[in-house]
Amino acid sequence: SAVISQKPSRDICQRGTSLTIQCQVDSQVTMMFWYRQQPGQSLTLIATANQGSEATYESGFVIDKFPISRPNLTFSTLTVSNMSPEDSSIYLCSVEVPGTSEAFFGQGTRLTVV
Partner 1 sequence: AQSVTQLDSQVPVFEEAPVELRCNYSSSVSVYLFWYVQYPNQGLQLLLKYLSGSTLVESINGFEAEFNKSQTSFHLRKPSVHISDTAEYFCAVSPARGGYQKVTFGTGTKLQVIP
Smallest gap, in angstroms, from Cβ of residue 16 to partner 1? 27
Taking CB under 8 A as the rule, does residue 38 contact partner 1? Answer: no
Smallest gap, in angstroms, from Cβ of residue 104 to partner 1? 8
Distance CA 112, CA 108 (A): 13
Our CA dihedral for 16, 17, 22, 23, rounded to 10 degrees, sits at: -10
Query: What is the x/- site pattern for partner 1, positions 58-87, by CB under 8 A?
Result: ------------------------------
Taking CB under 8 A as the rule, does residue 43 contact partner 1? Answer: yes
Taking CB under 8 A as the rule, does residue 41 contact partner 1? Answer: yes
Taking CB under 8 A as the rule, does residue 101 contact partner 1? Answer: yes
Residues that bind partner 1 (CB under 8 A): 4, 6, 31, 40-43, 45, 92, 96, 101-108, 110
